[in-house]
Amino acid sequence: MELYFSPGQSYPLGATVQPDGVNFSLFSKSARSVELLLFDHANDPQPAHIICLDPQHNRTFFYWHIFVANIGAGQIYAYRVHGPFEPQRGLRFDGRKVLLDPYALALVGEERYNRSAAIGPGDNCAHALKGVVADLTTYDWENDVHPCTPYSATVIYELHVGGFTRNPNSGVAPEKRGTYAGLMEKIPYLKSLGITAVELLPIHYFDAEDAKPGLTNYWGYSTLGFFAPHRSYSSRRDPLGPLDEFRDMVKALHREGIEVILDVVFNHTAEGNHTGPTLSFRGLENSVYYMLEESPEYYRNYSGCGNTFKGNHPISGRLILDCLRYWVAKMHVDGFRFDLASILTRDHIGQPPAGDISSTNILWVIESDPALAGTKLIAEAWDAAGLYHVGEFVGLADWFAEWNGPFRDDIRRFVKSDNATVKLLADRILASPDIYSRQGIDINRSVNFVTCHDGFTLNDLVSYNHKHNEANGENNQDGANDNHSWNCGEEGPTQNPHIEALRIRQIKNLFTLLLLSQGTPMVLMGDEVRRSQLGNNNAYCQDNGLSWFDWDAVEKEAALLRFVTGLIDFIQTTEIFKQEQLLEVTYGSQSPHIVWHGVRLGQPDWDDNSHSLAFTLRHPQHDEHLYVAFNAYWQPLSFELPPLDNNDYWHRIIDTALPSPEDFCPLDAAPMVKDKTYRVEARSTIVLRVKNNVAM
């Protein structure tokens, strides 16, 4: 095939299919020359064509560009960029290294990829990843629409695409295990569970080799291609297969009313510190994409992963915005969870904002962008270097939500019977008004969670006092030490039926608190069936049964699954759990409200030594009246029940101390409570609801 060239255009960045060829555009301010490499096949060790870009004709400002006729979608390409290697000036050009286009929409070459080859001296072409030209106009979305579920009706399920179906017991065909297609086969399970959104751990193409020898970067927080879906999560082997399979998955989830939220990592990349590989950004314009130390040969490390992406630089900031727009407009995703989002508040040299974080440019740009209006934007409002902005992202420009870290910690501490937790519990139940104090903001922007990928699973939270991360190869030094966990009497798996019963009860207590609290609940994959990592609280490198969903547990833990499914359905069909405003704390209000109690009505015990709290919830407009009591004390407590009108009676929806199926009863089958008090067993929770029995 004979190729024809013309100067091309600087916009858009990346590789853009046109009627008679492809336009390529790349940013590099300090490069002296650029070579476009074209490959015939994904694993070719050398390019079929090397096209040298002329600085006079193929460069506009700091953009290198060329139009190549007679090629199109499916063309495999990469770059070599030549310039000074002067680390003391922050310049790390290496013309021997094959570089990825930051805007590549698909990547290939993983079969021969070798991270070490991009670190050592010499040509790494035979072991480099390459981009693939994609035409986004041919896919049939079949009138797909975003579900646009409000936060008030959202239940998020944090899910790892690979780990969800990679287990041989998943029932998924071997070629589809651990893929987007495999996840599609499990949509009926997600639908039956009642979740409304999946929050996918990183699916941007990441470097699985960014881990200790013999281990794999399983979680995916090591991004190489921000625009490309991770190829190993696709069952298709053709160069553009992952794009179609990902879109098929999104379309299938949307058909069932389930939103897709991506966990995005704009705080660092896979290139690591000064000893890391040259894969893309480092060899294109190192000082533009990364925050450098005062000695520019070293990287500022606010991410804990070796480098820090310079999100508030115009070039890298534009990449972030272009990336978010792309995944919404072209891939139809519904939102993003920003990993270590506080890094995006740092300026171009890493300094935190002098005052309010609302002055941070990239955050305002993201929030105000019309292409992103209506998407869910969720911040992990801290970083690895001490910034902590929980309570400051919510209401920043009226759209960001936050992972509520204090909710996780305070709920754990209350359930394990720590002192001085009852007042904190009350705030967490009310969507943390002590943290989120701005008026007029949807209280469901507090994303509540007890567990997430980073830390213990829910089962391990009640089964281990200490982390057990020996398999990670870091002498158990990695992972958090302060987990607010309690093993209920014995470390790890046990045959003791009393300990097992207590653990089940504690899991149900934690689920009940999570789902009954105001805010948007997030459930960790597998917690509903007691998924265990055997005490590993940092399983980022464990791509094996330790991290995978165990589908045998769906039957084995059917009783717990029934409880969780019933509880999710209960909150989704009860209007008082869908409020967008803070509940009033009062008696007799005609608006939705809450009244606090202790073991005696109207007398909550806020003492530091207290371990119990009760409350009534009322929504007069919908005739909803509930009573909830939490007893984290190690002895039973008798709680006074509010008196009712003649034909109204309390009915037991939940009692976590009871075995299945009595632990959860739908209202139409809920037994009547005739006494004026209710004995709440040690370390247990009850939920009662008023039902009119006049027809009985």
Last residue of a domain, one of 133, 163, 185: 133
Q: Mean per-residue pLDDT for 404-426? A: 98
Q: Which of 94, 380, 543, 655 is catalytic?
A: 380
pLDDT of residue 440: 72
Supply the pLDDT for residue 398: 61
Q: Where are the alpha helices (DSSP H) in 430-578?
A: 458-461, 497-516, 553-556, 558-572
Is residue 549, in this structure, part of any structural domain at all? no
| Burial profile 551-586: b = 16 or more Cβ within 10 angstroms, e = fewer | bebbeebeebbebbbbbbebbbebebbbbebbbeee
Q: Which of 106, 258, 284, 237 is nearest to 192 (CA)?
A: 258
Element (H, E) at 6: strand 4-6
CATH number at residue 56: 2.60.40.10
pLDDT of residue 392: 86
Does the residue 634 lie in any domain? yes
The residue among 77, 98, 133 that closes a domain is 133
- Its pTM surpasses 0.85: yes
Phi, psi of 685 (to 5 degrees): -135, 145
Closest to 338 measured CA to CA, from 403, 392, 389: 403
Out of 207, 244, 263, 339, which one is annotated catalytic?
339
Whether residue 328 is contained in a domain is answered as: no
Contact 468, 535 (CB under 8 A): yes
Q: What is the pLDDT of residues 22-63, one digit of tens each?
A: 999 999 999 999 999 999 999 999 999 999 999 999 999 999
Identify whether 607 is a catalytic site residue: no
Can you give the CATH number for the domain in which 658 is found? Answer: 2.60.40.1180
Residue 399 has a pLDDT of 81
Summarize the confidence of residues 566-575 as an average pLDDT: 98
Residue 19 within a domain: yes
Domain membership of residue 571 (yes or no) is no
- Looking at 105, 133, 161, the residue that finishes a domain is 133
Contact call for residues 401 and 394 (beta carbons, < 8 A) = yes
pLDDT in tens, 281-337: 999 999 999 999 999 999 999 999 999 999 999 999 999 999 999 999 999 999 999
487-534 pLDDT tens trace: 999 999 999 999 999 999 999 999 999 999 999 999 999 999 999 999
Q: What pLDDT, on the 0 to 100 scale, is given for residue 647?
A: 86
Residue 428 tokens read as 């967490």
Instruction: Tell me what pLDDT residue 376 has.
Output: 97
- Does residue 436 form part of some domain? no
Residues of the domain holding 61 = 4-133
Tell whether 88 is covered by a domain.
Answer: yes
pLDDT of residue 500: 98
Q: Is residue 550 annotated as part of the catalytic site, yes or no? A: no
pLDDT digits (tens, 9 = 90+) for 205-256: 999 999 999 999 999 999 999 999 999 999 999 999 999 999 999 999 999 9
Q: Please count the structural domains in the chain.
A: 2
Q: Omega into 12 within 30° of 0, i.e. cis?
A: yes
Higher confidence at residue 437 or residue 632?
A: 632
Predicted confidence (pLDDT) at residue 552 exceeds the cutoff of 50: yes
Contact 576, 202 (CB under 8 A): no
For residues 183 and 229, what is the distance between their CA atoms, to the nearest angstrom? 15
- pLDDT exceeds cutoff 80 at 695: no
- pLDDT score of 626 more than 60: yes
Give helix 314-329 / helix 281-289 axis angle, nearest 10°. Answer: 120
If pLDDT is split at 50, 70 and 90, which confidence band does 396 have?
A: low
22, 8 in Cβ contact below 8 A? no
Residue 503 lies in a domain: no
